[in-house]
Amino acid sequence: MKEIDEIYQENSLVLKNKKIGFIGGGNMAEAIIKGMVSSSLIKASNVFVSEPNKSRQTFLSAEYKIKIVKDNLELVKKSDVLIIAVKPQIIRQVLNGISDQVDVKKLVISVAAGVPISQIEEALCFRKKKKLCVVRTMPNTPAVVQEGATAIAAGKGVSKTDLKISHEIFQAVGQTVEVPEEQIDAVTGLSGSGPAYIFMIIEALSDAGVKMGLSRDVATELTVQTVLGSAMLVRETGTSPGELKNRVTSPGGTTIAGLHALEKGSLRATLMDAVEKATLRSKELAE
C-alpha cells in the first residue's frame, strides 16, 4: 500500500495536514469520511465529528478511528475545513451557534440541499462583517459507494486552493464538477434526484425481464450490469451516447424494435420532464 506522502506527491494534493470537521455525523458525512479515510486522502486523526447521537458517535469512532468532539464550538476550534452535514431545517440554528468562532481562515463547505451560500454567509456573519470562504455542494447518494456525483459552487471569498480542497474531498466519493450557484437547482433535478430515476428504470427493466420469463434474480443482475456497463462505456470511451446507441442498432434488428417502443412511450420527453419538474421544485423549496 502506498504511503500517504507518496499519494500526495504523485497527485499534487493540497488537503494534507488539514483538519476536517464534520458538523453532523449522519449518512452523507459518513460517506465522505469513509471515502477520505479509505483512500488515504487524510489521516483519520485529522478528522473530527460533532454529533449528538451517542450510538452514532461510538460507531463512527470505532469504524473509522476519527475523533468525536464534545460540541460544535470545539469542532470549529479544531478544524481548518468545516463540513456542514446537518439537515437543512436546522442549519440556521447550527450556524448561529458557531458564528463567533468562524473566521476568514476557515473554509466552510455545506452539503445541505436547498440552502444558498448567501444564507450561510448571513448566518455566520450576523454579529460582525467578515468575508467568509463558503462553498456549497450538491452530492448524491451513490457517494455511499464512492460513486457519487458532486457539483461544487463557490462563494465570493473562495480561493483557488479552497476550491482544490473542496474537489479533493468530494473526489474521495466519486466525480466532481464546478458550476455557478444559480445552476445548483438544475444539478438537484439531474444528479441529486437522478439516482431515484435510475432505480425506477432498473426496477422496470427487471420487471420486464420477469414478464419475459426470467427469474427475478437473473433479471435484476442482468439489468444492473447493463446499466453499470453502459455508463462505464460512455465514460471510458468518451463517445456520445447517441453514437454508442447507433453502434448496437442494426437495420431491421431487435434493438431498433425496442427503441421504437421507447419512442412511442416518450421515454426521452418523460425524462426531460422529470428533470425540469425536479429543478423547478428545488427552486420553489429554496424560496
Ligand X SMILES: NC(=O)c1ccc[n+]([C@@H]2O[C@H](COP(=O)([O-])OP(=O)(O)OC[C@H]3O[C@@H](n4cnc5c(N)ncnc54)[C@H](OP(=O)(O)O)[C@@H]3O)[C@@H](O)[C@H]2O)c1
- Judged by the rule CB under 6 A, the positions of this chain that interact with ligand X are 23-29, 50-53, 56, 72, 85-88, 90, 94, 111-113, 139-141
**Taking the complex as a whole, how short is the minimal distance between the CB of residue 249 and ligand X, in angstroms?**
35
The amino acid at 201: I
**Exposure of 259 by Cβ count < 10 A (0-12 exposed, 13-18 middle, 19+ buried)?**
middle
User: At 176, phi and psi to the nearest 5?
Assistant: -125, 150
C-alpha distances in Å from residue 133, one per residue of 15, 210, 242: 16, 52, 41
C-beta closer to ligand X: residue 137 or 220: 137
C-beta of residue 156 within 8 angstroms of C-beta of residue 132: no
Residue whose C-beta lies closest to ligand X: 26
**Taking the complex as a whole, how short is the minimal distance between the CB of residue 255 and ligand X, in angstroms?**
34
**Taking the complex as a whole, how short is the minimal distance between the CB of residue 172 and ligand X, in angstroms?**
15
**What are the DSSP calls for 52-89, one per residue?**
S-HHHHHHHHHHH-PEE-SSHHHHHHH-SEEEE-S-GG
C-beta closer to ligand X: residue 8 or 22: 22
Smallest CA-to-CA distance from 140 within 202, 190, 87, 89 is with: 190
C-beta closer to ligand X: residue 95 or 133: 95
**Taking the complex as a whole, how short is the minimal distance between the CB of residue 235 and ligand X, in angstroms?**
21
Q: Cα-atom radius of gyration of the chain, to the nearest Å?
A: 22
**Taking the complex as a whole, how short is the minimal distance between the CB of residue 10 and ligand X, in angstroms?**
30
Q: Can you say whether residue 250 is alpha, beta or left, with left for phi > 0 and alpha for psi between -120 and 50 degrees?
A: beta
C-beta closer to ligand X: residue 56 or 78: 56
C-beta closer to ligand X: residue 28 or 190: 28
**Taking the complex as a whole, how short is the minimal distance between the CB of residue 135 and ligand X, in angstroms?**
14
C-beta closer to ligand X: residue 1 or 62: 62
- Please give the Cα distance from 132 to 155 (Å, whole number): 8
- Please give the Cα distance from 115 to 144 (Å, whole number): 22
C-beta of residue 72 within 8 angstroms of C-beta of residue 12: no
**Taking the complex as a whole, how short is the minimal distance between the CB of residue 178 and ligand X, in angstroms?**
17
Q: Which three cell numbers stand for residue 89?
A: 431545517
C-beta closer to ligand X: residue 191 or 206: 191
C-beta closer to ligand X: residue 28 or 102: 28
- DSSP H or E run through 266: none
**Taking the complex as a whole, how short is the minimal distance between the CB of residue 4 and ligand X, in angstroms?**
26
